[in-house]
Amino acid sequence: MGHAVGDPRGIYAVVMPGGGVEARFGRMFKHLPPFEPSDELLQALAARMVESRPPLDDVRFSTDGLDNTDLPAGYTYLGQFVDHDMTRDTTPLSQQRQDPYALINFDTPRFDLGSVYGRGPELDPQLYDGRQPGRLLLDEHDGVVDLPRTGTGTALLGDPRNDENLIICQMQLAFIRLHNGFVDGGHSFADAQRLTRWHYQWLIVHDFLPRIVGQGLVDQILVQTDQGLSVSNVFYKPTNRQQPMMPVEYSAAAYRFGHSMIRAEYEIHERRTLPIFSVDGADLRGSRPLSPDLVLDWNYFFEIPGMDPPDDRNFARLIDTQVARPLATLPPTVITPGPGAITALAARNLLRGKRLGLPAGQDVANAMGLTVLSNVDLGLSEPGWGGKSPLWFYILKESEILGGRRLGPVGARIVTEVILGLLALDRTSYFNARERFSPSAPTFTMGHLLRMANVI
């Protein structure tokens, strides 16, 4: 759920002259031209991409028909957790200065829970419990289990983004506690780490992706061989298989579908509903110690095995061209205020796509051999568009046209090929295990993992 519009190191290498370069970032569709409508047109579009309703006092009052009752809201934040894991960058500052476009030094995007393990016990000892070898560090105060924090409340994490809101913070806690549970059960640190990573990867493939793109597409791309699992990708084929690039079509457009799934408010437990942002600070922003009244009841966010659903579980919003109203004015704790600061999330995404030279949605659909939606289909009537649309908007709108319960053809294909492709290329993933891995439960979901982590 990145918010930046600026000049992230490395990403502009792929939009420089000769944009076929692959480093930390690259292109899936190298031959397509960038789509460059005016900034004014993009900002006008962003102004229309805002839900009309404000945050509610209780999620049971959500009656506008834009809740996706097929998708509990926790999957929005599992998607954010996955995104942070894929885009973690630990390159030392000295190397960043020597390599400003990330053409040489870069980390491979892997689903390795870098936010949990950091660089390991030797390089990031502050994440580990020195009194109990193999365990990750936790803090207990006021009757709650919390992330370890400094005196100012800053969490000690492999990725500080995983403390930016109370939901992602407590998801981080669940993965730490899952690892510690494996250690307490007699596993070595290495085995506990491997089991935690593989259960997480299994969830992505068998729980998260099918809900977002459909089981049929996952089955179409995933191939079982004698050597393990592989993929039948058509579009995501990085030239360097040892250090595969992150496609900008994915990172700056397709995977940003989650922004439209965010609710303006969440019921965190019985009779306590909070907005994502508020003026008085009574909201879901993180970067603060947990208190007992802010501990989540995960049954409001996921289906938990053996538990009846609450009457008012949070559901994700439909994948469409609307974002929650609070995201139209991001607070100073998210966006540093100053002259020219752009505080609307939709505007930031659209402008970022232009800065990165993303191709038009119609051009990508055509390159994929899919039915191409016209600007009339998309509801873009201004002549300045030239019959084309921004890729992020196109992906959201194709989903909206199909009902918004999962991604449409362009978005689903990009997301699935990149995620499964990276897992297949990672020699340490469960795809490439010597013995076939599967969790204990035949239909293992995030609800099962939360039970295993003892956070229910």
What is the pLDDT averaged over residues 418-442? 93
**If pLDDT is split at 50, 70 and 90, which confidence band does 10 have?**
very low
> What is the pLDDT at residue 96?
40
In a domain? residue 98? no
pLDDT on residue 22: 76
Residue 264 lies in a domain: yes
pLDDT at 118 > cutoff 70: yes
> Which residues lie below 8 Å from residue 338, measured CB to CB, with a gap of 6+?
none
What residue type is 190 in one-letter code?
A
- Predicted confidence band of residue 184 (pLDDT cuts 50, 70, 90): very high
Helices (H) and strands (E) counted in the chain, each on its own, are 15, 10
**pLDDT band at 337; cut points 50, 70, 90:** confident
pLDDT value, residue 280 = 85
The pLDDT of 313-327, averaged and rounded, is: 97
Q: pLDDT tens digit string along 134-166?
A: 999 999 999 999 999 998 889 999 999 999 999
- Cα 35 → chain centroid: 25
Quick one: pLDDT at residue 243?
87
Query: Between these two residues, 13 and 435, which has the higher pLDDT value?
Result: 435
Average model confidence (pLDDT) for the chain?
Answer: 91
* Per-residue model confidence (pLDDT) at position 260: 98
CA distances from 41 to 45, 49, 362, 382, 437 (A): 6, 13, 18, 9, 50
Strands (E), 83-179: 139-141, 144-146
- φ, ψ dihedrals at 267, nearest 5°: -85, 115
For the ranges 22-26, 322-326, 340-344, 358-362, the lowest mean pLDDT is seen at 22-26
Residue 218's CB is within 10 A of a number of other CB atoms, namely: 18
pTM given for the model: 0.92
The pLDDT value recorded for residue 18 is 52
Choice among 12-26, 183-197, 261-275 with the minimum mean pLDDT: 12-26
pLDDT in tens, 197-221: 999 999 999 999 999 999 999 999 9
Comparing 389 with 4, the larger pLDDT belongs to 389
In which element (H, E) is residue 396 found?
Answer: helix 391-401
In the predicted model, is pLDDT for residue 376 greater than 70? yes
Domain count, the chain: 1
* Residues of the domain holding 262: 26-90+105-452
Tell me which of 81-90, 102-111, 292-301, 418-427 is least confident. 102-111
End-to-end CA distance of the chain: 26
Between 110-114, 132-136, 332-336, the lowest mean confidence (pLDDT) is in: 332-336
pLDDT for the residue numbered 338: 81
**Residue 68 CB-density burial (10 A; 0-12 exposed, 13-18 middle, 19+ buried):** buried
Confidence of residue 49 (pLDDT cuts 50, 70, 90): very high
d(CA 114, CA 194) in angstroms, rounded, equals 12
Q: Which two tokens mark 435?
A: 């013995």
Three-state SS at 426: coil
Separation of alpha carbons 96 and 448, rounded Å? 40
In this structure, is residue 31 part of a structural domain? yes
Query: What local confidence, expressed as pLDDT, does residue 109 receive?
Result: 82
Tell me what the mean pLDDT of segment 1-23 comes to. 52
**What's residue 279's pLDDT?**
86
pLDDT of residue 441: 84
Confidence of residue 8 (pLDDT cuts 50, 70, 90): very low
Output the six-digit token pair for 18.
């000769």
| 164 within a domain of the structure (yes/no) | yes
CATH code at position 269: 1.10.640.10
| Average pLDDT of the segment spanning 334-362 | 92
Confidence band of 332 (pLDDT split at 50, 70, 90): confident
Asked whether residue 38 carries a pLDDT value surpassing 80, the answer given is yes
Q: What is the pLDDT of residues 51-108, one digit of tens each?
A: 999 999 999 999 999 999 999 999 999 999 999 998 755 544 344 444 444 544 345 5
| Residue 96 belongs to some domain of the structure | no
Backbone angles phi, psi at 296, to 5 degrees: -75, 145
Cα distance between residue 32 and residue 293, in whole Å: 51
Res. 7 pLDDT band, cuts 50 70 90: very low
